[in-house]
Copies of this chain bind each other. A is one copy, B any other.
Amino acid sequence: MSDQTPATPSTAKTAVTPPRQTTPPARFSHGVRKGGLLQVAGQVGFGPAEPGQSPSPVGPGLREQTWQTLENVRAVLEEGGASWEDAIMVRVYLTDTEHFAEFNAIYDEYFAGLTGPPAARTTVYVGLPAGLIVEIDALAVL
């Protein structure tokens, strides 16, 4: 530890795991709450977990996957005691620049009921595993 770094007692860290979310494919948490922050892991358009079945996206289309992905982020936020109103950042990963306009229309529809200022957002175009066309994560402040 460098001399400039004061020793700070660590705050408690809590995993946030919505009961119906599919199990992460590795040792990470769907959400983590620590020190007034709630970080939501990258969510995709998987429907609720079904015993004995592999996770699969709710549909091939952008609308279904986007809506389910946002609902999965919301489930983590709410399980952690937060809501979209607390989110300060939403990171959107799409796979096709042609999806931008349609994605924005779906996004605006999804957030039509928001009463406070919307979160900031960054949208970039990346590769995702086969079958997935959108991934979203979020950071909230409690």
**A-to-B contact residues, CB < 8 Å:** 1-2, 4-8, 10-11, 13-17, 24-37, 39-42, 78-82, 85-86, 88-91, 93, 97, 100, 103-104, 107-108, 111-112, 114, 116-130, 135, 137, 139, 141-142
Contact check, A118 vs B81: say whether CB atoms are below 8 A apart.
Answer: no
Contact check, B139 vs A122: say whether CB atoms are below 8 A apart.
Answer: no
The answer to whether A135 and B122 touch (CB under 8 A), given A14-B2, A79-B2, is yes
Contact check, A32 vs B126: say whether CB atoms are below 8 A apart.
Answer: no
In the bound complex, how far is the Cα of B121 from the Cα of A100, in angstroms? Answer: 24
Provide the residues of chain B in CB contact with A7, threshold 8 Å.
Answer: 81
Q: For A1, give its contact among B1, B79, B100 (CB under 8 Å).
A: B79
Q: For A119, give its contact among B25, B28, B86, B116 (CB under 8 Å).
A: B28
